A and B are shown apart, each in its own frame.
Chain A
Amino acid sequence: MSAPTLDRPAAERPDEAALQRQFDATIAADRRIEPRDWMPEGYRRTLVRQIAQHAHSEIIGMQPEGDWLLAAPSMRRKAILLAKVQDEAGHGLYLYSAAETLGADRADLTDKLIERRQKYSSIFNYPTPTYADVGVIGWLVDGAAICNQVPLCRSSYGPYARAMIRVCKEESFHQRQGYELLMTMMRGTDAQRAMVQDAVDRWWWPSLMMFGPPDDDSPNSAQSMAWGIKRHSNDELRQRFVDMTVPQAAVLGVTLPDQELAPDPETGRYRFGAIDWSEFKQVLAGHGPCNDERIARRRAARDDNAWVTEAATAYARKHES
């Protein structure tokens, strides 16, 4: 991977102000910034942080559903779930590659995840006690991820935007598969219907929190919007998700756990109740039900297999010619 141009010795560097003007013009024209283009250090850092967090979320996100891989209750469901979890590993790979085009290193980012110096989406710190959780994660969590990520297909950073196009296609597949599982369970036994409603009750509010804090409490958003890294505000994306999901819940025959949820005749959108942000902050701060378990699994995968990675490196060195 070639180092970003800003690492060049000062003498070779064209006038920084001119570069900044060129960068601003590219952003203003809604064109893409590519790895070899000059970019402000803050832009690069913000992107690395955002892409790494996103990559970590894909990888940690394999675990809650992955816990059902061995016990999926039909051969078809097992195949669908295994393919989905494999997709998530693939998403992590594309995203780490996108971060590497900005000079980051995958092993280093993984270390930062394990040492809790970088975050991942809090949603994956909730447990999955029943198989309905697999369906609800597909429907709501992949659904919320789509609302967040579709605008990122137009991110100003080219490699990120291109990775997101591919990721979004697969996420929408996951969402449909999750919904189809729930639909099948709702047509099944009473016990299955109860499982679905219970899972919806547990996941609804955490999935609304996936869009991040409200706009008036989201300090970095304005700069990210100006840079074209972010396209819509947290509250706008959250509203889109609610509007998209409420009719789906009705078709499914489940109740969303919010007394205040109702159509607003003036805006044509849905009004919903207040979110408990103290819970969000608790989970984000590492005190969710499964934070320790999620990180411990990544740590074990790295440490228990370190001898394998070392062997692969040693073999490659011996046999390079």
Chain B
Amino acid sequence: MGHEETVYEALDSAHGGEGQWAFGTGFDEPLAGVDTTVPDGIDPADLGAYCLMLGDDALVLAQRLTQWVTAAPELEEEVAVANIALDLLGQARLLLARAGSVGVLGRSRDTATASIPDEDALAYFRDADEFRCTGLVAAPNGDFGQTMVRLLAAATTRLAVFARLRDSRDPVLAAIAAKGVAELTYHRDHAARWVLRLGDGTPESHRRAQAGADAVWPLLADAFTATDVEQRLVGAGVAADPAGTREEVVGVLTQVLDRATLRVPAWPADAPPRGRLGLHGAELAVLLAELQGLAREHPAATW
């Protein structure tokens, strides 16, 4: 008896007032209350550009993983994939807000109403050539096996970078990285468990996982080459040098594929940065059209 009454009461008190409810769920303004002053000797434009690189990777991969929601193999996997996408979305929100806080807002900022937050101006009102994500995250999912191989590769490279960024001279970036390391470790381990099961499961799953690895490996060609922005920020003690993560990333990926009884594909030769400079294939434009369509249809709206 008592329980039912208290639940109703709780609901009742919730719809008093003006519909103003405090959620306390962490969904609100990503950097609210955080000191966003840029330390001396750091170029704000470079810092903002770097935050876009890391933020766009997270946003685009979150979008890709979300494509599995209501289509995943098991209910447990629906929950896990949504969880990982939510973590990445959270990282993207913090990083885009950091970019906005140093004045990096994209060339089309003025097409949206001034009242939307920086994170939305950046996520919804930049064109594809202003995005700084890598080809590794922008590529379409493929089947579940390829999706998990890509997640393994993306989480492993990102984790290696984030682990180093915990010592960044930008305290905001360092704090974002410290929070992200635990999340990315879980993402990597989740993906690795699937790669093991699929590689060492049935002949069909082995074949599919191998095809997934063969499709994903070439996307790592520019994973270890730094842009000029990154090089300058490495010098300033702000960014992690992707070249310095190679040994760790190759080691982890090789170990997982070996244990999964998969052949490690040939490592692609280092290529100059593409996605990090805004050079993307058509698949990113398709992804962004879906992501941004509604927001752009109502540029004067707040949601």
Contacts and interface: CB of A to CB of B under 8 A. Distances in A.
B232 interface: no
B201 interface: yes
Identify which of A89, A146, A301, A310 gathers the most chain B CB atoms within 10 Å of its CB: A89
B301 A308 contact: no
Interface in A209-246: 231, 244
A192 interface: yes
A308 B205 contact: yes
A62 to B, nearest CB: 5
Identify which of A150, A180, A187, A307 gathers the most chain B CB atoms within 10 Å of its CB: A307
Interface string A13-30: 000000000000000000
B201 A314 contact: yes
A79 B86 contact: yes
Contacts of A71: 290-291, 293-294
B301 A180 contact: no
Interface residues of B, number: 66
A300 B75 contact: no
Interface residues of A, number: 70
Interface stretch (A45-53, A90-98, A112-120, A199-207): A90-98
B226 interface: no
B34 interface: no
A187 B89 CA distance: 26
B128 to A, nearest CB: 16
Interface stretch (B61-69, B167-175, B276-284): B61-69
Interface string B83-112: 101100110110010000000000000000
Contact of A308 (B11, B69, B73, B89): B73
Interface in A172-205: 172-173, 175-177, 179-181, 183-185, 187-189, 191-192
Nearest to A316: B197
A311 B301 contact: no
A92 B72 CA distance: 14
B73 A305 contact: yes
Contacts of B69: 62, 66, 69, 82, 85-86
Contacts of A70: 63, 66-67, 290-291
Nearest to A59: B75
A244 B11 contact: yes
B247 interface: no
A284 interface: no
Contacts of A144: none
A141 interface: no
B11 to A, nearest CB: 6
B18 interface: yes
A168 B202 contact: no
A31 B11 CA distance: 26
Q: What is the predominant secondary structure among interface residues of chain A facing chain B?
A: helix
B28 interface: yes
Nearest to B89: A79
Interface in A297-311: 297, 300-301, 304-305, 307-311
B71 interface: yes
Contact of B86 (A83, A146, A315): A83
A137 interface: no
B290 A185 contact: no
A68 B209 CA distance: 30
Nearest to B29: A76
Contacts of B92: 75
B197 A301 contact: no
B23 A310 contact: no
A92 B205 CA distance: 27
Contacts of A151: 4
Interface of A: 59, 62-63, 66, 69-80, 82-83, 85-86, 89-90, 92-93, 96, 131, 146, 150-151, 153-154, 165, 168, 172-173, 175-177, 179-181, 183-185, 187-189, 191-192, 231, 244, 247-248, 251-252, 297, 300-301, 304-305, 307-312, 314-315, 318-319
Given A85-B69, A176-B14, A179-B21, 13 more contacts: A63-B70, A70-B291, A74-B117, A75-B120, A76-B117, A83-B82, A153-B4, A180-B19, A188-B301, A188-B303, A300-B71, A315-B196, A318-B200
Interface of B: 1, 3-4, 7-8, 10-12, 14-15, 18-19, 21, 23, 25, 27-28, 63, 66-67, 69-76, 78-79, 82-83, 85-86, 89-90, 92-93, 96, 116-117, 119-120, 123-124, 144-145, 196-198, 200-202, 204-205, 208, 290-291, 293-295, 298, 300-303
18 contacts: A69-B69, A71-B290, A71-B294, A73-B303, A75-B119, A80-B25, A85-B69, A89-B79, A92-B75, A131-B303, A168-B7, A172-B7, A172-B11, A244-B11, A248-B19, A297-B71, A311-B205, A315-B196
